[in-house]
Amino acid sequence: MRPWIPTACVVMLLCLVSFGCAGGSPSTAGSTLTSPTNPVTSPVTDPVTTSVTNPASVSIVISDPAACKGSGGPFTHVYVTIADVQASTNADAAPNDPSFVDLTPGLSAAPKQVDLMGQANSSCFLASLGVGQQVTAGNYEQVRIFLAPDSHASSISNNACGASYANCLVRTDNSLHDLVLPTAASQGIELMGNSIINGSIAFNAGDNPYIDLNIDVCSSILAAANGEYELNPIIHAGLIPSSGSTISGTVVSSKTGQPLSGGSVVVALEQKDPATGIDRILMRTSAGSDGTFILCPVPQGTYDLVAVGVDGASVSYSAGVEMGIQSGQLADKIPLVPGSQQGTLEGLITTQGTGTNPLGVSLAVQAGALQQIATDGATITVPLLPGQSPYDEAMLTTDGSSCAGGVDCAPFSMQLPTSTPNVVACSEQTAQFKQQQGSTPGYTAESVAAIPGTGTEAACTSGSLEAPNGPVSVRSGETTMASAIGFKQCQ
């Protein structure tokens, strides 16, 4: 294992001590967390003091290093209004179960509106939702987040969505649109299992932890058939120690050692799904024009970093993958190997009705791509560049003549790197990035589907969420067809 060598601390972002990884130099580190500056005009409500046995003093913050606000992204603002945050030690607790504790008392009386594409403060947060609430020490396995409905719009202080909406988005053409909440949002947006980083949140007596709610806005907005937008929030909750931590680095060309000129670069922080072993994206961000990126706040844990990019001349670069990096470490330089043009992976998603599930149901579908790393057999989720791929807006099934009889269908199209990944294991002391063998990378298309208004739980069943015939090669400048992905019993 590579030794970790601490560096002197300077004031920059939040981090205990950062350590070099993959042969890199130690990064700078930062100060202890303080109450974040609140960019929302409504003040933080003082928490209600209650008598708690063996208490921990918990603060709640919200973040979103949104990759889709980069060049070519479709939105300039996404406003959500948070009315409450609750937690339970019982993973199976139903809504309103007495095991839930209120982490943000007073917020329901003064909901807080947050721009998920706003500028984060120096501690990486968009807003503070509650500070120093005393709760009983324990292992909390479920979190519920409550959003204000449109019926409360008129009571929201300085509502950026106007008098009619509590949650909304602004497209790059400056048009404002309502964000319709799923029906399940009235009982709170449920986070548990894979939605809680490391599986659960442990509070010890006397601790002063921060819980970060990281919203992946890029994957949370679904386009409805009638032109409206629905918010199906993809949220991860994680425990941030009072000192916090960050992962940062620079994405460069392996050929020049310099940042990619023009174009865009996305870096994703991923962690294995314990049920499938597949790396799933927890947060992502866009690299700056100088190639630098910062992911924060990063809960304690071990992750994989996946970076993809295309330059201003439309040259596609391989994915750069750093396996096994920990919060607080420096990723140093991630080299992407230049290829030629991106390739396109296209396919069809189908839904088939049953006797009680008629065709023509408005179904929100999102497609993604998986890629296996030969080094250790890991399978990563390939982050898709903003403005190029369908992760930022869902597709919809329709009754159309192009579909087979008795089936609704929707196409998908993704632009992907056409060079094999460049991979390093962070845990190996002298490891260097090594490009995977093969002339072209193989991808497996996958999809999830939900009916707008039903919440984040899948509303359809499928024999496999992955295309049945496995990986297909994607070549430069060419379009490759993936196997159809079929869903049944959508209701």
**pLDDT tens digits for range 412-429:** 888 899 989 999 987 655
- Please tell me the pTM assigned to this model: 0.76
Domain 246-336: assigned CATH number? 2.60.40.1120
* Dist. CA 154–CA 5, nearest whole Å: 54
Residue 52 has pLDDT above 60, yes or no: yes
Q: Are 446 and 465 in contact (CB under 8 A)?
A: yes
Residues composing the chain: 491
- SS3 state at 157: coil
**Distance in angstroms (rounded) separating the CA atoms of residues 80 and 160:** 10
Q: Do 246-336 and 344-426+439-488 show the same overall fold?
A: yes
State the Cα–Cα distance between residues 42 and 14, nearest whole angstrom: 25
Mean pLDDT of 438-467: 64
Closest by Cα among 60, 336, 68 to 213: 60
**Contact by Cβ (8 Å): 482, 466:** no
Q: Tens digits of per-residue pLDDT, 184-202?
A: 788 898 888 878 888 889 8
Instruction: Please give the average per-residue pLDDT across 371-399, as a whole number.
Output: 65
CA distance linking residue 390 with residue 367, whole number of Å: 7
DSSP H/E element including 140:
strand 138-140
186: phi then psi, degrees, rounded to nearest 5 = -65, -25
Q: How far apart (Å, rounded) are the C-alpha atoms in residues 221 and 203?
A: 32
344-426+439-488 folds as Immunoglobulin-like (2.60.40)
% of the chain beyond a pLDDT of 90: 31
Domain segments of the chain: what residues?
55-147+180-240, 246-336, 344-426+439-488
Higher pLDDT, 51 or 84: 84
- Residue 335: the pLDDT is 94
Q: Is 134 exposed, middle or buried, given 0-12, 13-18 or 19+ CB atoms closer than 10 A?
A: middle
Q: What are phi and psi of 325, to 5 degrees?
A: -85, 150
Which segments of 247-315 are extended strands (E)?
Answer: 247-253, 264-272, 279-286, 292-295, 302-310
pLDDT exceeds 60 at position 456: no
The answer to which of 94-103, 150-159, 292-301 has the lowest mean pLDDT is 292-301
